[in-house]
Amino acid sequence: MLSTQIAETFPRSQPRNSGHQRVQKSKIYAAIQQRADSMGIELTDERLEAVDFVLDFYTHCEDCRNARQLMKVMDQEFADKGGKKYLYKLFPKGPLSQIHELTDLPDLRNQTDNGFGTSY
């Protein structure tokens, strides 16, 4: 989870030194565009903003595979635009699931809750 200090300043704070490699966004944009094309997703500025946020999260997190924590942080970050509701409008099949598929990041723990039919 994010510490209170990091959560307050995320994603503008200094990267954590927890063994995770800094994600090189500039090197993966072509691959993201290619995956988006194959998925039939148009990469609008709004969608890219959410993708960038997740990539930034991976440079600051202690537990990058915690879906619930990431969704909570994203809900707070995009609260002025509608939070989770806004993110689900951008990514109807689940913001975290689709963003992770676009960016080829590893699946998150509890990314899909089959008991409730929820996909983060």
Q: How many other C-beta atoms are found inside a 10 Å radius of the C-beta of residue 55?
A: 19
Give the model's pLDDT for residue 9.
41
15 occurs within a structural domain: no
69 occurs within a structural domain: yes
72 occurs within a structural domain: yes
Residues 1 and 16 sit within 8 Å (Cβ to Cβ): no
Nearest partner of 57 among 99, 27, 88, 113, judged by Cα: 99
CA distance 46 to 61: 23
**Tokens representing residue 8 in the block:** 């307050």
104 occurs within a structural domain: yes
**pLDDT tens per residue, range 81-110:** 999 999 999 999 989 889 999 988 887 776
118 occurs within a structural domain: no
What is the domain range of residue 80? 4-10+25-112
Give the model's pLDDT for residue 108.
78
78 occurs within a structural domain: yes
pTM: 0.71
16 occurs within a structural domain: no
Q: How does the average pLDDT of the chain come out, rounded?
A: 77
120 occurs within a structural domain: no
**Tokens representing residue 94 in the block:** 């689940």
Enumerate residue ranges in the chain where pLDDT < 50: 1-9, 11-22, 116
Sign of the alpha-carbon torsion through 4, 107, 111, 74: positive
Give the model's pLDDT for residue 53.
92
Domain count, the chain: 1
The H-or-E segment that residue 47 falls in is: helix 45-60
